[in-house]
Structure 1
Amino acid sequence: MGTKTWHSLPEYQALRALMESGTTSKAAIRLGLSQSAVSRSIASLEARTGRILFEREGGRLQPTNEAMRMNKRLDPLFEALDRIDGPPESTQETLRIAAPPTYAHRFLVDHMATFLKTNPNFYISLEVASSEDVIRGILGGQHDLGLTGVELSRDGVRLAPYRTSSAVCAMASDHPLAQRQVIRPEDLHDQPLIALTHRHARRAQLEKILHGARSDPRIIAEVSTSVAAVDLAKTGLGLAIVNPFPIVQYRSDGVVFRSFASQITYRSYFITPDHSPISRVARSFMRHLRLHTAKDSFSEKA
């Protein structure tokens, strides 16, 4: 039956301190011990290992080859101790976000930049997709967090309200109706209108409101995103009825937004998986957005 090997950390510390400082007095100061305690540790290590570790030359202790080999083998031990005693290692957490173009371009990008500057240990992957694809990505586990302005409730996802807003008219700053603070449905009669395509539920809602007010605008173009509608309106081509959030946050030059007197309201949501806890980085980013979303005249916190 073999002899059990034991190790003494104070002996190894004395060896390392003596090799780096050269004298027992300096090693003792470094370790906060007496010179005799350092000498006893070295003598005990030599006796236990059966090796001569230091030789005295000209009043100075010189490490032997045995001491240098032992010290080198001790490197991993002291590196591990440094990691234990030092600050925790930083680990980079990834957040996979998915959002439609209206949210992703400029609005989310700007907030991602400020978030990552203050949280350098986080990493963000942004996917630009339709609201349907955002939901599918959350359900399939490809995304941790989604944003949408469409209430697409599905089993397996959670919708957390983020912002609420009311419909606005977007138009060029020199449009005749830009002088009004509130645009009524009847004001749109015979006005050129840039409409969202029929796949948007709000299109049918708007048509019902206009029909009730006997207002018949001239639809001159159809687009699939609010951003495209606002950009066309900016050229002076016509008006657009859109959800102002978050467009009003980053589209303000050359275009004006005026309240549209209607019952059309919008909600923006955070989307997360229902089958697993929200990750720390996702919670942090949601909190960052809620805290740093700028105030505007057309939307408010949900």
Structure 2
Amino acid sequence: MATKTWHSLPEYQALRALMESGTTSKAAIRLGLSQSAVSRSIANLEARTGRILFERDGGRLRPTNEAAQLNRRLDPLFEALDRIDGPPEAAQETLRIVAPPTYAHRFLVHHIATFLKTNPHFYVSLEVSPSEDVIRGILEERFDLGLTGVELSRDGVKLTPYRTSSAVCAMASDHAFASRETIQPEDLDGQALIALTHRHARRAQLEKVLHGCRSTPHIVAEASTSFAAVDLAKEGLGLTIVNPFPVVQYRANDVVFRPFASQIEYRSYFVTPDHGPTPSIARAFMRHLRLHTATDPFSQKA
């Protein structure tokens, strides 16, 4: 039957103190013990392990290779003891964000990065989902904060206005309308148009505006996000009518935006649960966005 191994913390402490101080007198002072107690612990450890751990070198005790190896193996033990005896670790606060692609890609990514650089004790999880899933995710308490440009009022969800904006035409810099200050609905008659898909309520609103002035553009493509529609316009396929926020924040240098003379208006919202207080980390991120959202000529603070 194998002999059961036992361990003595005072012996391990004496080993480490003696290796770091070099003499039994200094090790004894460090541990608050007598020199004889330190010498006895080392002798017991050598007897128990069957190894010579220290050799005399002048007035000092020189640790052997066996002592160095044993001391390295003791590192996890003393690190664990430090964690037990030390101050409690601060819990890392997590912010779970959900947003549609137009908000998430580039715009939110940039602001999340700057938020975490100034708040390294926070942690952020970002989910990219359609606007309908943003509301559903908040209702199901899978997320703490959402962003959306769609008014989907539901019981249990609070919509806090963030930005307001009016419709714009986006187009490549060499488009025939790029030099105009404002685009009228009747100007679009016969023009190549990249439209948002019919699942967007704004598609029906745009069609009503165009029908009212007997303007019939030529729809060359459809896109499910403003992000994609603006990128298609940038490629020279035609122009598109979109909510400028937040696309203009990162597309102003390579796409031309012009006001579209219509009553189409947009609101961007923070989405939070309507029961109980909003988590402090969510409020902190909302403040961060409000403070650091760059100004642009097409949107304003709500």
- TM-score (normalizing by structure 2): 0.73
User: Residue type of the partner of 1:132?
Assistant: E
Distance 1:201 1:54, change over 3 A: same
Provide the secondary structure at the position in 2 that maps to 1:267.
strand
Structure 1: 4+ residue segments shifted above 6 A: 19-22, 61-64
How far does residue 277 in structure 1 lie from its aligned partner after superposition?
2.1
Distance across 2 between alignment mates of 1:158 and 1:294: 25
Partner of 1:242: 242
1:161 partner SS: strand
Aligned partner of 2:162 in structure 1 is 162
1:162-181 matches, within 5 Å, as 162-181=162-181
Q: Which residue of 2 aligns with 1:294?
A: 294
Distance 2:287 2:268 in 1: 15
Structure 1 unpaired stretches of 5+: 1-18, 31-37, 43-52, 56-60, 70-74
Q: What corresponds to 2:195 in structure 1?
A: 195
Matches of 1:266 and 1:207, distance apart in 2: 16
- Cα separation, 1, equivalents of 2:181 and 2:208: 23
Whole-angstrom distance in 1 between the partners of 2:197 and 2:267: 19
CA deviations 1:65-95 (Å, max 9, x no partner) are 49x99xxxxx99x9589745xxx73321111
CA offsets per residue over residues 236-279 of structure 1, 9 Å max, x none? 11110000000001123431000111111100011111123211
- Structure 1 residues 62 and 224 mapped into 2: Cα distance closer, same or farther (>3 Å)? closer
Measured after TM superposition, the shift of residue 178 of structure 1 is 0.6
Q: Deviations over 1:116-161 (max 9, x none)?
A: 1111111111111001111111111111111000011111111111
Match of 2:104? 104
Q: What SS class does the counterpart of residue 177 from structure 1 fall into? A: coil
1:1-302 matches, within 5 Å, as 53=34, 65=41, 83-84=86-87, 89-302=89-302
For 1:35-56, what per-residue CA distance to the aligned partner results, in whole angstroms no more than 9, with x for missing partners? xxx9xxx9xxxxxxxxxx566x
> What's the CA shift for 1:62?
7.1
Deviating more after overlay: 202-211 vs 123-132 = 202-211
Distance 2:167 2:151 in 1: 16
Distance in 2 separating the partners of 1:62 and 1:109: 58
Identity rate, percent: 70
Q: Residues 90 and 234 from structure 1, CA distance in 2 versus in 1: closer, same or farther, beyond 3 angstroms?
A: same
Change (3 A) 1:107 1:54: same
> 2: distance between equivalents of 1:106 and 1:150?
19
State the distance in 2 between where 1:64 and 1:235 align: 82
SS in 1 for 2:177: helix
Farther off after superposition, 214-223 or 108-117: 214-223
The separation in 2 between residues aligned to 1:282 and 1:128, in whole angstroms, is 17
| TM-score normalized with structure 1 length | 0.73
In the TM superposition, what is the alpha-carbon distance from 1:290 to its structure 2 partner? 0.7
Q: Structure 2 stretches of 5 or more lacking a match? A: 1-17, 46-77
Deviation at 1:100, TM superposition (A): 0.3
RMSD: 3.0
Structure-1 residue corresponding to 2:71:
none
- Between the aligned partners of 1:79 and 1:207, the Cα distance in structure 2 is 68
Q: What is the alpha-carbon distance in structure 2 between the residues aligned to residue 195 and residue 244 of structure 1?
A: 14
SS in 2 for 1:179: coil
Report the secondary structure of 2:178's partner residue: helix
Q: Alignment partner of 1:300: what SS?
A: strand
Give the AA of the match of 1:221: A
2: CA distance, partners of 1:90 / 1:184? 57
